[in-house]
């Protein structure tokens, strides 16, 4: 089968750029707000899709997360997407989205999960005084920054590091690790295997 990958973005699209530069075949780029990531897709000749959360309440407390998740999943399903990779995607989707793509949503996070979940992982690592942190690629679930870990890469915390300098070194590692893992997952799906088999391979490696 030809695996159709959708990359979900919300911001500058630097992870998307790394995926494209590494040769990952991206079929669709989706976004939850107008952002540079959509420009990156258009410049690369990749189909783009904006499902703007502004139409669902934006960033107010009454944001219709459930309806948004169902509509986003439906839009991706209508485009025959097989695998989803979140790349700085700022909207937490509900279980309804994961039901459409069971164990087929990947995410990258700037810590060695399960440590330092959430949006401020780098600053939390610095505040905790750890000697090292890193990045994790995992199968996303409805729970934030949870799910089976596919791969991790360690990054030392250096004397004098601030959030910006540490995050930049994590990003450099992330831009190598995430494309490699996505490529491996796409190969497994192409061979008729599921993501679970890749989890086992990564654990045994």
Q: Average pLDDT, stretch 51-59? A: 95
* pLDDT number for residue 83: 97
DSSP letters of 100-158? HSTT-EEEEESSSTTSS-STTHHHHHHHHT-SEEEEEEEE--SSTT-S-EEEEEEEEPP
Whole-angstrom Cα distance, residue 139 to residue 141?
7
* pLDDT number for residue 26: 98
pLDDT at position 199 over 80? no
Domains 1-102 and 108-205 share a fold: yes
CATH number of the 1-102 domain: 3.40.50.170
Over residues 9-53, the pLDDT tens digits come to 999 999 999 999 999 999 999 999 999 999 999 999 999 999 999
DSSP letters of 19-67? HHHTT----EEEESS--HHHHHHHHTT-EEEE--GGGGTTTSTT--HHH
Q: Which of 187, 178, 201, 195 has its CA nearest to residue 89?
A: 178
**Marked catalytic residue, from 109, 120, 138, 167:** 109
Per domain, the residue ranges of the chain are 1-102, 108-205
Average per-residue pLDDT for the chain: 94
* pLDDT number for residue 197: 77
Whole-angstrom Cα distance, residue 28 to residue 40?
12
Q: Average pLDDT, stretch 130-152? A: 94
**In contact, 11 and 90? CB cutoff 8 Å:** yes
- Can 120 be counted among the known catalytic residues? no
Classify residue 169 by its DSSP letter. Answer: H
* pLDDT number for residue 200: 66
* pLDDT number for residue 201: 74
* pLDDT number for residue 2: 87
* pLDDT number for residue 163: 97
Secondary-structure class of domain 108-205 per CATH:
alpha beta
* pLDDT number for residue 181: 95
Give percent of the chain with pLDDT exceeding 90: 91
* pLDDT number for residue 126: 96
Whole-angstrom Cα distance, residue 180 to residue 8?
17
Q: Average pLDDT, stretch 111-129? A: 96
Q: CB-side exposure of 188: number of CA atoms within 13 Å?
A: 19
Q: Average pLDDT, stretch 171-196? A: 93
* pLDDT number for residue 204: 61
Identify the bridge partners of residue 50 per DSSP, sorted by sequence position. Answer: 31
- Provide the pLDDT confidence category of residue 203 given band limits of 50, 70 and 90: low
pLDDT at position 71 over 80? yes
């Amino acid at each position: 089968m030809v695996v159709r990958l959708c990359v979900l973005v919300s911001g500058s699209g630097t992870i998307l750029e790394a995926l494209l530069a590494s040769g990952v075949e991206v079929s669709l780029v989706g976004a939850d707000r107008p952002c540079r990531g959509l420009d990156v897709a258009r410049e690369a000749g990749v189909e783009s899709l904006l499902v703007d959360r502004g139409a669902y309440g934006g960033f107010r407390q009454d944001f219709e997360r459930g309806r948004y998740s169902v509509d986003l999943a439906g839009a991706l399903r209508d485009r025959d997407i097989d695998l989803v990779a979140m790349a700085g995607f700022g909207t937490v989707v509900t279980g309804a989205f994961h039901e459409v793509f069971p164990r087929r949503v990947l995410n990258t996070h700037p810590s060695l999960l399960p440590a330092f979940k959430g949006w401020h992982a780098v600053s939390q690592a610095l505040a905790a005084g750890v000697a090292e942190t890193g990045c994790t690629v995992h199968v996303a679930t409805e729970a934030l920054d949870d799910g089976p870990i596919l791969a991790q890469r360690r990054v030392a915390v250096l004397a004098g590091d601030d959030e910006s300098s540490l995050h930049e070194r994590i990003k450099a590692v992330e831009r190598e690790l995430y494309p490699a893992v996505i490529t491996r997952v796409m190969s497994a799906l192409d061979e008729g295997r599921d993501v679970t088999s890749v989890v086992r391979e990564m654990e045994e490696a």
